[in-house]
Chain A
């Protein structure tokens, strides 16, 4: 989207363009793991494939890397079909889930391996290895064995090795999965930084939505072998196309009911317990069809001081104190696990369990999704 086009216009771009056309994949001839995948990745773009395990995202990455053949369809790299190109000739850098650093080689030998294969002279090779190690701030660790490094350091070596032979495209398969939270956040920043400074295209696979949102230009949300939504991170969060995406990205409350009226992009709904609400019509059927409302917990106001589009009463069932905010579980319109997040302003009183409070939200913050006729 916007950042991708920005990257295109800047001068340092050398990234490759990737195109999936009607790609299908089946391992056993009975179940399609990937169903009709169409995806365009612009040069220099950082695209994340996000989804629960078994959703087909890693299979897509393996097809792109060449380790799994596509059952049907064609993958293009810089507009050239690569279905019949073996992995070693695709020139794609790859970072594996468990780093796949060669245990019998030192860090420097690991990095020199792809350069040796390219028959690069020793001095040039050494210079490149040193530059790559410096890039990940491991200049002093060239002589160590991978087993002598911490998880974070191994991760950086893996990134450096995937980049050392200057590929136009780098694939990363859940590279941060084995790291602890703090290190993961730091590495997200570093990978993002390296991507921006080198201008390579990156296809990144993860099941961690925070990772996807912080790093990517665009995120493809996978479920059941289908891309449910392909958008920039903010669009993904603000306007999910269906309740799976809404549920998968961030926290989400679901309320179901029947559409009673549609007025431009605002629709009226009667919830299952009879409550009438207004919401944004993102993806609904005709009047009379069922739909699911998606509502972010932090967009709900507890005891609003002004009139809001929707005012619904709810009974407090549980209050969790989380420091910067309160997390309140309420029974609202038939949903017993309705979450409300209240920022901890210091002065606000803590709701009492069992009491009834008014909840208010704007119509634009409630998205009507998933038409069922």
Chain B
């Protein structure tokens, strides 16, 4: 192609509105992208530390919290055999599970008490089934003393090879392992973990014979097999398997058991309580809605989701109280902050600086000190009550209760959050030219009319910004309600803190936190739809 035709084709391309190119024929967009890439990489490096910080300290913890509120793998991990065995149990029947489940339970608990995690699972299930934690705790000590060798002895009596480690090597390397032996496979893994914990890592499981619990589970796997399947094992083309299972199909029906169910019932009556087993089965899945249900005062029973009894309902009241008090605090902040912000915006620089310092002064004192000083002021023998009594407004035996209730929370939190209302209001008001009011007055408007028709509408953006700030801060406030709220003035955040640090029910704390987060996001979304988030001005 000659130069001139190339040029021609170029111009014709241009004429058709084709993408522009640079002199060397590269598309203009690509050239521009390359030129800007350096800038973008530079910008990325500049924000990288903050990005990493936010990821680690904000996004990741919130993600973790959201996950914790539904995560429930502890049951499946601690009682793996029991969970599998329970699949065949009908939780709506009137009977507690049979011997098969109890042998899996015995095996799971043997490892759990060895690892000292049996109380942990008890605590977890106790959140949903109060009382069950003591069942697990009491059982832990006595698991080791269970009679567990009946099945093992029967297997060995049938074929001495069952008493050798080779039997298990054969079994675990067979084609049917682990599909045909679901419970045994879990029990065998449990035993290996137990062995490692008991004897240390240097011992080789392939030189050891498992304990009786493993045999008990093997028995239940075999006895629940269909006849044909068990016969196939005995006639397996794998000669090692065939010799191992020779005679088993005929003998299996007469195998003795250890009666784990009876032994467990002797240890703790709770093991034959059907509600306990229903709870265990309900919590078997790795994910659960039980925390969220608890967070809204509900629970899942065999009859479905229903509200808890009235005397156990608690969290919905707290959520409602948190929202209502936050609204009241926000309104109080608007009422108190608006005139101050107006003064700040209209006074001379010198006086407004003084007021601004007074507004910001609370920021410079510790939150704890401020809250504590409210205690001093508001208590029944406190400064304000003394003053009221001295003036005679209040009788000495009728001193006002202003602390350790909602009043205390509202007063202290309004004081603490006031600057968050004043500052956005102030920065918006400062941008409102005084000539607006003058113009309105020159047109005949009275001061009141000019304020409501001209000044106020222009400050709505500031009210919105301040309200969002104050409300969102208030809804998650913790220290102040904890110190001055008593029992009637605490917020949902205090319950979250309680579950994080005292009851250690992190799942419930996460569910409560997630609901709070969703509430705030919903509020934000509503605000955006009604007022428009673009209208929020912080200055």
Residues of B within 8 A of A320 (CB): none
B436 interface residue (CB < 8 Å to A): yes
From B433, B443, B457, contact of A114 by CB (8 A): B443
Contact with B along A109-120 (1 / 0, CB 8 A): 000011001100
**Alpha-carbon gap, A29 to B21, bound state (A):** 71
A88 and B442 in contact (CB under 8 A), knowing A96-B435, A100-B436? Answer: yes
**Alpha-carbon gap, A97 to B457, bound state (A):** 22
**Alpha-carbon gap, A162 to B444, bound state (A):** 11
From A67, A93, A162, contact of B438 by CB (8 A): A67
- Pick the most buried of B433, B436, B438, B442: most chain A CB atoms within 10 A of its CB: B442
A95's closest neighbor in chain B, by CB?
B439
A161 interface residue (CB < 8 Å to B): yes
A100 and B449 in contact (CB under 8 A), knowing A91-B444, A117-B444, A165-B444? Answer: no
Q: Are B436 and A165 in contact (CB under 8 A)?
A: no
Residues of B within 8 A of A102 (CB): 436, 439-440, 454, 458
A62's closest neighbor in chain B, by CB?
B438
B residues 420-479 near A (Cβ < 8 Å) are 433, 435-436, 438-446, 449, 453-454, 457-458
Q: Are A94 and B458 in contact (CB under 8 A)?
A: no
Contact count A vs B, C-beta below 8 Å: 62
Q: Are A98 and B441 in contact (CB under 8 A)?
A: no
**Contact size range, B:** 10 to 19
Q: Are A92 and B445 in contact (CB under 8 A)?
A: no
Q: Are A100 and B444 in contact (CB under 8 A)?
A: no
B442's closest neighbor in chain A, by CB?
A94
A177 interface residue (CB < 8 Å to B): no
Residues of A within 8 A of B454 (CB): 102
Give B431 Cβ to nearest chain A Cβ, in Å: 10
Give A54 Cβ to nearest chain B Cβ, in Å: 18
Q: Are B446 and A87 in contact (CB under 8 A)?
A: no
Residues of B within 8 A of A67 (CB): 438, 441
Q: Are A100 and B439 in contact (CB under 8 A)?
A: yes
From B433, B449, B458, contact of A117 by CB (8 A): B449
A161 and B433 in contact (CB under 8 A), knowing A96-B438, A100-B438, A102-B454? Answer: no
Q: Are B433 and A113 in contact (CB under 8 A)?
A: no
Residues of A within 8 A of B433 (CB): 98, 100
Q: Are A97 and B435 in contact (CB under 8 A)?
A: yes
From A93, A113, A162, A171, contact of B440 by CB (8 A): A113
Residues of B within 8 A of A94 (CB): 438-439, 442
**Alpha-carbon gap, A102 to B445, bound state (A):** 13
Contact with B along A153-191 (1 / 0, CB 8 A): 000000001100100000100000000000000000000
A259 interface residue (CB < 8 Å to B): no
A111's closest neighbor in chain B, by CB?
B443
Residues of B within 8 A of A90 (CB): 442
- Give chain B's interface residues, CB within 8 Å of chain A: 433, 435-436, 438-446, 449, 453-454, 457-458
Apart from A86-B441, A96-B439, A118-B444: 14 A-B pairs, beta carbons within 8 A: A66-B442, A67-B438, A87-B438, A88-B441, A88-B445, A93-B442, A93-B443, A94-B442, A98-B433, A100-B433, A104-B457, A113-B443, A117-B445, A165-B443
